[in-house]
Homo-oligomer: A and B are copies of this chain.
Amino acid sequence: MPATHSLAPQQKLLEDYVHTRKMTMKMIEPLEIEDFGVQAMEDVSPPKWHLAHTTWFFEEFILTKYRSGYNYYLEEAKKLFNSYYETLGKPFPRSKRGLIGRPTVNTILAYRKAVDEEITSLLRRNEVISEEILSLIRLGLQHEQQHQELLITDIKYNFSINPLYPAFQKEVHSLNTVEDVSEMKWTSIAEGLATIGTNEENFSFDNERPAHKEYLYPFSIALRPVTNKEFQEFIGDGGYTTPEHWLSDGWSTVKEEGWKAPLYWEEIDGVWHYFTLSGLQPVRDHDPVTHVSYYEADAFARWAGCRLPSEQEWECAFKNDPSSGQFLDSFELQPTMSEGTSAFGTVWEWTKSPYMPYPESARPAGALGEYNAKFMSNQLVLRGGSCATPENHIRLTYRNFFHPDKRWQFSGIRLAKDRR
């Protein structure tokens, strides 16, 4: 009997399932019931919705298909939890998720528990489960991890607009926070064909596949992200008032939105502060700048005489990056600079690459074909994960993506430049 037909994979998955679902529950401990329903802008979702939607995902894609006679736990409410799968019926309008009082948080928690019991009892069975089901459960856990990150960034945004500046956690600082940051150092990569993406058996999203060749020209890439201090120099040098630095669409956005600094920054008596998950704080100079849009990252890079890396350059440069940054697992939810900060964790890094399918990639059939592929327009790729990403969720080939004006993720800047 081949290894793949043993019970081991499903026992491993059971552990992962329990760990990941518990993590979500641990994350919401600081919340009051009142915090669960808030949606302070269309891009964010109420915490309650994240809890329900990730649970619905397991129910919709696994239980209703592979458990005969299964009925939705909240039959009436299920349309509320469909995010964007048009093939599964008209989703409830995204902009109205925050207007829904019922079902209550307790009902949602009971719903989570009921679905958890279904899935874990399935995985505990003493018979081998098909790879198809295991795959879908793995996808469900990756999906849950993506929503864990959104849960953090959405709570941050929701709290930020409250004039009371509520704190989600006590102020925390990494033990190995640096006191000062050295000059920017660079690494150089030679010209030639690189292999990008993956064909590996381990889990990856469809958008990371297949492995393929790209021709890269010689370039240098910075060994750490841009700091708040460096970004303040850009501000001080008229960065936000000089159209030459900006893409045309970026400049329009700056004027329309009245941007003068990254999201959450506020000048109080001449000193820059930012809202953090521990409340309002003075800006820490040597930490990586975050909550910048692609437009700001691109403008900063142009001002600095550099450019952003492509996602292929980024992937090629950090193929063997051994070290490690800050992740959700430590619950230190504010990016800090540490010695040997790697390209992984701490802040997502905007690349200059539009989010597009890889050559010869295939869109999965059915509703899951909507998971990634239909977003492949008007968005840019970010790489490397952030302090709100679970450590075992990130990979070298992982492609995150957002529209170029979005700023509520922990998005930062890594510089690159041509070598010729």
Q: Cα distance A377–B297 when bound, in Å?
A: 13
Q: Contact at B92–A163, with CB atoms within 8 Å?
A: yes
Which residues from B are CB-within-8-Å of A360?
217, 418, 420
Which residues from B are CB-within-8-Å of A375?
247-249
Nearest Cβ distance between residue A245 and chain B, in whole angstroms? 10
Interface hits, A243-261 → B, CB 8 Å = 243-244, 246-251
Q: Contact at B243–A101, with CB atoms within 8 Å?
A: no
Which stretch from A317-325, A351-359, A384-392 is at the chain B interface? Answer: A351-359
Q: Cα distance A277–B174 when bound, in Å?
A: 52
Interface string of A260-293 (1 = CB under 8 A from B): 0000000000000000000000000000000000
Which residues from B are CB-within-8-Å of A164?
76-77, 102-103
- Is A29 in contact with chain B by the CB < 8 A criterion? no
Q: Contact at A99–B377, with CB atoms within 8 Å?
A: no
Q: Determine the interface band of chain A, counting residues with CB < 8 A from chain B.
A: 35 or more
Nearest Cβ distance between residue A32 and chain B, in whole angstroms? 5
Nearest Cβ distance between residue A153 and chain B, in whole angstroms? 16
Nearest Cβ distance between residue A185 and chain B, in whole angstroms? 23
- Is A114 in contact with chain B by the CB < 8 A criterion? no
Q: Return the chain B residue nearest A76 by Cβ.
A: B164
Interface hits, A400-420 → B, CB 8 Å = 404, 418, 420
Which stretch from A55-63, A79-87, A137-145 is at the chain B interface? Answer: A79-87
- Is A158 in contact with chain B by the CB < 8 A criterion? yes
- Is A118 in contact with chain B by the CB < 8 A criterion? no
Q: Return the chain B residue nearest A358 by Cβ.
A: B217
Which stretch from A15-23, A34-42, A127-135 is at the chain B interface? Answer: A34-42
A33-B33, A214-B215 are known contacts. Are A158 and B377 too (CB-CB below 8 A)? Answer: no
A164-B77, A354-B354 are known contacts. Are A101 and B35 too (CB-CB below 8 A)? Answer: yes
Nearest Cβ distance between residue A79 and chain B, in whole angstroms? 6
Interface string of A345-386 (1 = CB under 8 A from B): 000000010101001100000000110001111100000000
Which residues from B are CB-within-8-Å of A39?
99
Q: Contact at A217–B359, with CB atoms within 8 Å?
A: yes
Q: Return the chain B residue nearest A369 by Cβ.
A: B244
- Is A212 in contact with chain B by the CB < 8 A criterion? yes
Which residues from B are CB-within-8-Å of A103?
164
Q: Cα distance A375–B174 when bound, in Å?
A: 41
- Is A189 in contact with chain B by the CB < 8 A criterion? no
Q: Contact at A104–B32, with CB atoms within 8 Å?
A: yes
- Is A100 in contact with chain B by the CB < 8 A criterion? yes
- Is A9 in contact with chain B by the CB < 8 A criterion? no
Q: Return the chain B residue nearest A298 by Cβ.
A: B377
Q: Contact at B162–A101, with CB atoms within 8 Å?
A: yes
- Is A27 in contact with chain B by the CB < 8 A criterion? no
Q: Contact at A99–B38, with CB atoms within 8 Å?
A: yes
- Is A213 in contact with chain B by the CB < 8 A criterion? yes
- Is A239 in contact with chain B by the CB < 8 A criterion? no
Q: Contact at A404–B418, with CB atoms within 8 Å?
A: no
Which residues from B are CB-within-8-Å of A251?
86, 374
Q: Cα distance A105–B370 when bound, in Å?
A: 40
Interface centre among A48, A243, A356, A369 (most CB of B within 10 A): A243
- Is A225 in contact with chain B by the CB < 8 A criterion? no
- Is A193 in contact with chain B by the CB < 8 A criterion? yes
- Is A335 in contact with chain B by the CB < 8 A criterion? no
Q: Contact at A243–B352, with CB atoms within 8 Å?
A: no
- Is A395 in contact with chain B by the CB < 8 A criterion? no
Which residues from B are CB-within-8-Å of A247?
374-377
- Is A197 in contact with chain B by the CB < 8 A criterion? no
**Given pairs A214-B215, A217-B359, 15 additional interface contacts (CB within 8 A):** A32-B104, A34-B37, A34-B104, A37-B38, A38-B98, A38-B99, A38-B101, A76-B164, A77-B163, A98-B98, A99-B162, A100-B162, A193-B215, A212-B215, A213-B215
Please name 9 pairs of A and B residues whose Cβ atoms are closer than 8 Å in the assembled complex, sorted by A. A32-B102, A34-B36, A35-B102, A100-B162, A247-B375, A247-B377, A248-B370, A248-B377, A377-B404
